[in-house]
Structure 1
Amino acid sequence: MKGGMLKAESFLRLFSVLLAILAACLVGLDTQTKLIFFTIERKATNKDLPALSVLVIVEAVAAGYQFIQLCKCIKANQSGFHKSLAWLDFFLDQMVAYVTFGALAAAAQASCFAVTGAAHFEWMKLCNIYTRFCEQIGGGLACGLLGSLLMAAVSSISAFHLFRAHTTSKQSFVVNRGPL
């Protein structure tokens, strides 16, 4: 059972690393240049929406963390599971999953303004002008969402490791009902 759980955790971590890197690259390297009014050249980048820049940083850090944990899983698969760091792993896995999901939600909300605009703020629909840019950002957000869901699954596995480390199979709980 231990080996199967560690293999599943390793695969989930590997795919979350790949998806986080893909999301960071799609969003971070996305640019599109358009000629407006035949003379003005305007370039759209992820720096136009600060939430996208934050998402790139968060995804890169999450990918690095998941890669380090993946290396630890591979080592644990060969040498056995270490109980001493179960709380730290659980806490960090939870934090990475929540921060990644939060940054993704903020970037998605900011991107909605680029798609729909906001007439009462006089913000125009940018995706009518920069369609390829918006499609690539959407792909990056989709990859980030899948990676975030995988990180949540990894977090539940680390919770399983934590609770299994604190209970042993030989413990039995006797209920004392008092005198009859």
Structure 2
Amino acid sequence: MESRTMVKMEAFLRLCAMMLSILAACLVGLDSQTKLLFNTIERKATFRDLDALFVLVHVDSVVAGYNLLQLGRCFISARFEGSLKGSYLYLAWVCFLLDQIAVYVSFGANSAALQASVLAITGARSFQWMKLCNRYTRFCVQIGGALFCSYAASLFMAVISSISAFNLFRLYSPKQFLLLKFN
């Protein structure tokens, strides 16, 4: 019963992380705002203007797809709980390593996008970079919301990674050492 509860909790966290990653990718990828500059030039701000936002869309999409695949694994392992014992050690290692990679890549892409967004808000006078968010306010607010969703997805992925580590290292411990008791 403890294992089944753990799988349900992991599946719920993966579903939340997947939905937040999809939301962040859609918010960034579909965000654009057009402004008229100097009453003659029309300029459109999109996620392609900042390379970090372009990378964030792709990373969030891949993380959402990975969580969808792992969600399928959670449903299969919950259904066939007793019959997958033989190669479970290798599967636990693969899941642990892939979860670690997903968390670190997602967090790195979020941090790079946040850094680029802060530069868009504040500008950099020494490089003669203008502030962009005073002209494209709605665009910047939507990117901020997407970054919040993406960081929340990374946080969920970190919790999932700790569950994955628990599931892996539980296989190496004595029988009574790392058992969770759900009462």
Q: Which residue of 2 aligns with 1:150?
A: 156
The reply on whether 1:24 has 2:25 as its aligned counterpart is: yes
Residues 43-65 of structure 1 show CA distances to partners (whole Å, capped at 9, x for unaligned) of 00001000000000000000000
Q: Aligned partners of 2:113 and 2:140: how far apart in 1? A: 12
Which deviations, in whole Å up to 9, do the C-alpha atoms of 1:86-118 show, x marking residues without a partner? 111000000000000000000000000100011
* Partner amino acid, structure 2, of 1:46: F
Q: Which runs of 4+ in 1 moved over 6 A?
A: none
TM-superposed CA distance for 1:167, in Å, is 2.5
After superposition, the CA RMSD in angstroms is 1.2
Q: Distance in 1 between matches of 2:124 and 2:15?
A: 39
| 1:130 equivalent in alignment to 2:131 | no
Rounded Cα–Cα distance in structure 2 between residues aligned with 1:56 and 1:170: 44
Q: Which residue of 1 aligns with 2:75?
A: 74
2:111 aligned residue (91, 105, 110): 105
> Where does residue 53 of structure 2 map in the other structure?
52
Further displaced range: 74-83 or 30-39: 74-83
| Distance in 2, Cα, partners of 1:168 & 1:53 | 47
Describe the superposition over 1:99-142 as per-residue Cα deviations: whole angstroms up to 9, x where unpaired: 00000000000000100011111111100000000000001000
Q: Number of paired residues?
A: 171
For normalisation by structure 1, the TM-score amounts to 0.92
2:34 counterpart SS class: strand
Q: TM-score, normalised by structure 2?
A: 0.91
- The match for 2:12 is 11
Among 142, 165, 177, the residue aligned to 1:159: 165
Instruction: Report SS of the residue matched to 2:14.
Output: helix
